[in-house]
Structure 1
Amino acid sequence: METQTYGPEYDPAGHEDGYERRLREGSPPNLLPMRLQLMELQAHEIARCLEARSRLSRDLLFGGFTALRLQGVPLPCTLPRYGDTVGSDDLCVLATRRNTRSRLQGARFYHMNIPLRIVEPMPGVRCVDVVCAWFMIARFLSLEELVTLGDCLLMRSAVHDRVTIGDFDAFVTQMEKLGKSHVLGRKRAPRGVKKARRAIALLRGNMESPQEARLSLELKKRGLPEPSVNLSIMLYDGSVVRGDLVFVEAGVVCEYDGAHHLRQLEQDRIRRAKIECSGWLYVQVTRVDMATPDARAWMARRVADALEERTGVRYPTDDVIPLEAIADHALRMSAAAWDRVA
C-alpha cells in the first residue's frame, strides 16, 4: 500500500501501549454496552466521511481503519502506534490510480492494486468491506493484533454484516493467486499475505469481546490446551449459562470480566456461586490481570494451576510460545490433513 500523506504526522518514538497505560493508571472504564459504543463511533465516522466528501465535491472510497470504523468494528487499542504508516485518526481514502493526488486536510490517500470489495454503510458513503479492510492493514499490525481484530470481525454481536472464517480464507486465497497469475499486472502477491494466512489459522470465531480474544491468545501462547469458546453450561438448578473459555474435560471455566460487570457485581457473584456449586472450577480474569506482561504471566499460572488440580497434568507457563510458531504448526497440520483426505 503506497501512501501520500497530507496532515500532521504522528511521532511513535517513546510511545507506550495505550491499552496497558490505561489499565496501569486505572482510567475510568466506559460502561456503555459495546454495541452502543460501536454504533456511536460508526455514526461519528460517517459524519466525518460525508463532510470530507462535501469538501472535495466528489465521491470518495474509504479503506483501512476508516472502513472498519464506518462498519462499527472494535479497533486495536494500539492504533496510535501505527500513526506514521496508517494515519491513526486520519481518514484513509483510496485513490483510483497510483499517481492520483488530492489534498484533503486530515486524510491520507492510498492506492491498492488488488480487487476491492465495496459496500455502502449509508447512501453517499462507500468503503471496502471488513475483510478487505482487515487485509489492507495486515502488514502493519502484529500477528496478535491481526488475529484479535479478525476475531472481532467474527463476533456475533457485530454491527456490520456477518462474516465467517471461510470469507477470510477465500479473500486471502485470492490475494495469494494474484502474483502467480499476474492479475492486474502484479509480479508478486500483495504484502501481508503470509501474515494474513497465519492469522486465519489462529482465528476462533464466537468471541464476544476483543479482550476475550486477547485472553484466549494469551493462554495459547503459554502452552495451555485449547478451550471451548462461549460454551453453554448446564447448572445444578437446570438453568444454562455461557462460559467464556471452558476446559470441558478438566471442568474449568475461565472468564473475562470487563468494565460492564461493575454494574452487576451481585448478579455475577450469584452466577459464579452457581457455576462452582455445579462442580466447575472458576477462574476470574479482569483487566488488571491483562494489564502488564507480569500480570498476564501470573494469570496464566492461575489457569494452569486450576487445570492441574482437576487433571493432575502440570502445564509449565514460564515460556511464551511465539504466535508465528503456533500458526505455522496449525497450517502444517491442516495441510497434512488435506493430504490424507486426498
Structure 2
Amino acid sequence: MNSGFPTPPPGVFDDEPPGWTNNAAAPSAASTHAVKPEPYSPPRMATPTAPAMSETLTQRKREMLKRCTDAAQQLGKPVLFGMTTSLILQSVPLPKDCDLNATELHTVSDSHRTRIRAVVPPTTPHIWKPLSAAHNARINKHVHALDLVHTWAQLAAHMSLESLVILGDATLTAIARKPSLSGGRTADEIYQDFVRQVSELPKFNAKATCMIALEFIAPHVDSPMESETRITTTQYGLPRAVTNYTVPGATFSNGAPITLDLAWPEFRVAIEYDGDHHRTDKAQWRRDNDKRELLRHHHWIVLIATAANMADEPSQAELAYRAGRQLALRGAIFDFTLTATPLNELARRKRRKSTGAH
C-alpha cells in the first residue's frame, strides 16, 4: 500500500476481504468480497417515483420542439438553435451550473448581421463564428439544432470545468446512441473525433478550458452522476477508471454481458452508481442483486454510490477513501489526497510532468 495513504479511525472500515495483503496483485478464491445489497424496500404509494432520465429528456425535448417550431413559423423560415436549446432538442442532459436560462430559446448565427430574433415567442440570439464547420441536426422542417460538438464548445464559457467534463461525457453518449450521428463509429472513435474536432476549431471564447476538459472526458458513460462519481475519484488521486467495463466471462442468465459503471479491472474493484430506480424498481433491484452476487463469485469488490455520496465534499471524500482503500489493499500504488484537487490543477501538474518541469 502507498505509504501516503491515510489510516482511518478504528472501526470505520471492517470490510477487508480475508486473504488480502497490502501488496496483493490479484484476488484468490478465498478473497471474494462484495458490498452487501440493502433489502428491497418498495416505494410508498404516496410518493411518486422519479421518471427515468430518458423519459425526462424525451418530455423536455417534446415541449422544447413545440416552442422552437412556433418561433420558426412566426419568423417564416427554418431556425438554427444552439446553447442549452440544442442540448434539449438532442436529448442531452443539461449541466447543473450553467449560467444560461435553459427555458429561453437560444438561436445561433455566424455574425451580427445574420442574427435571428423572434418576438413571440422571444428568442435569445448568439454568435458562433465557427458555424460554417458545423454539421447541424435537422429536427423537423422548421427546427435545426447546432452540431453537438459545437454546442459543447459554445457552452464552455457558461459553466464550471467539472460540469463541462460531465457535459462532454453526455455529448459523446448522445452521439453514440444516434445512428445518424455516430455513422457506424465506435464509442472510442467518436471520442477521438470529438477531441480532434474541438482541437481544430479556430480560437473561440473558453477554448483553453475546452482543451483542459478534453483530458478528462470519457466515452461509455450512461449518466451525469456516473461522470460526477468518476471525477470525484480522479480528484482524490485514484487511478483512472475504465467506464462501462464489460466483465470477461460474466453474463446474466439471458446471456447479456455484465458491465460496471467504473472499474479498475487489474484489481477487480468497481463502483456502481445506483439512482433511485435501482431501489424503487423491483425488477431492477433483483437484477442488481443477481449481478453483484455473480461478481462476488468472480472475486470483484463492488462499491455502491448513490446521490447521497455526491451530495457534498465530505460524502465524496468518504466514497473516494473507500474505493482507494480497496485498491490499495489489492496492490494499487497511487497518491491519494485528503482533499479534492481541482481538475485544472491536475491538468497543470500533468503538463508539467510531461515536459519535465519542476
**Where on the TM-score scale, by shorter chain, does this alignment land: which range?**
0.7 to 0.9
CA–CA separation in structure 2 for the residues paired with 1:234 and 1:127: 39
Q: Does 1:218 align with 2:232?
A: yes
2:163 maps to amino acid? E
Equivalent position of 1:247 in the other structure: 264
State the Cα distance separating 1:235 from its structure 2 match.
Answer: 5.6
Equivalent position of 2:11 in the other structure: none
Structure 1 pair 296–274 and aligned structure 2 pair: CA distance change class (3 A): same
Q: Does 1:306 align with 2:332?
A: no
CA–CA separation in structure 2 for the residues paired with 1:101 and 1:62: 10
Q: Which moved more, 1:292-301 or 1:164-173?
A: 164-173
Question: Contact 2:110–2:130 at 8 Å: present in 1 too?
Answer: no
2:301 maps to amino acid? L
Q: Which moved more, 1:197-206 or 1:154-163?
A: 154-163
Equivalent position of 2:301 in the other structure: 281
Q: Which residue, out of 136, 141, 148, partners 1:123?
A: 141
Structure 1 pair 134–29 and aligned structure 2 pair: CA distance change class (3 A): farther
Q: Which moved more, 1:236-245 or 1:304-313?
A: 236-245
CA–CA separation in structure 2 for the residues paired with 1:94 and 1:306: 48
CA–CA separation in structure 1 for the residues paired with 2:127 and 2:351: 31
Q: Which residue, out of 295, 299, 321, partners 2:315?
A: 295
Equivalent position of 2:337 in the other structure: 317
CA–CA separation in structure 2 for the residues paired with 1:48 and 1:287: 32
State the Cα distance separating 1:332 from its structure 2 match.
Answer: 6.4
CA–CA separation in structure 1 for the residues paired with 2:277 and 2:352: 40
State the Cα distance separating 1:289 from its structure 2 match.
Answer: 0.8
Query: So what's the TM-score if we normalise by structure 1?
Result: 0.77
Q: Does 1:260 align with 2:274?
A: no
Gaps of 5+ in 2: 1-46
CA–CA separation in structure 2 for the residues paired with 1:132 and 1:331: 26
Structure 1 pair 232–59 and aligned structure 2 pair: CA distance change class (3 A): closer
- Any idea what SS the aligned residue of 1:31 has? coil
Q: Which moved more, 1:308-317 or 1:222-231?
A: 308-317
CA–CA separation in structure 2 for the residues paired with 1:152 and 1:237: 26
State the Cα distance separating 1:92 from its structure 2 match.
Answer: 0.4
Q: What does 1:145-184 align with in structure 2 at a 5 Å threshold?
A: 145-155=163-173, 158-159=177-178, 161-162=181-182, 164-175=190-201, 178=202
- Any idea what SS the aligned residue of 1:201 has? coil
Q: Which moved more, 1:327-336 or 1:259-268?
A: 327-336
Q: What does 1:85-234 align with in structure 2 at a 5 Å threshold?
A: 86-95=100-109, 97-98=111-112, 100=115, 102-104=117-119, 105-116=121-132, 117=134, 118-155=136-173, 158-159=177-178, 161-162=181-182, 164-175=190-201, 178=202, 189-234=203-248
CA–CA separation in structure 2 for the residues paired with 1:174 and 1:316: 35
Q: Does 1:78 align with 2:93?
A: no
CA–CA separation in structure 2 for the residues paired with 1:132 and 1:254: 32
- Any idea what SS the aligned residue of 2:273 has? strand
State the Cα distance separating 1:335 from its structure 2 match.
Answer: 8.2
Greater relative contact order (CA < 8 Å, ≥ 6 in sequence): 2
Question: Contact 2:235–2:342 at 8 Å: present in 1 too?
Answer: yes
State the Cα distance separating 1:167 from its structure 2 match.
Answer: 2.9
CA–CA separation in structure 1 for the residues paired with 2:95 and 2:344: 19
Structure 1 pair 314–174 and aligned structure 2 pair: CA distance change class (3 A): closer
- Any idea what SS the aligned residue of 1:320 has? coil
Question: Contact 1:304–1:317 at 8 Å: present in 2 too?
Answer: no
CA–CA separation in structure 2 for the residues paired with 1:318 and 1:37: 36
2:181 maps to amino acid? D
Structure 1 pair 334–50 and aligned structure 2 pair: CA distance change class (3 A): farther
Equivalent position of 1:11 in the other structure: none
Query: So what's the TM-score if we normalise by structure 2?
Result: 0.73
Structure with the largest fraction of helix: 1
Equivalent position of 2:75 in the other structure: 56
Equivalent position of 2:28 in the other structure: none
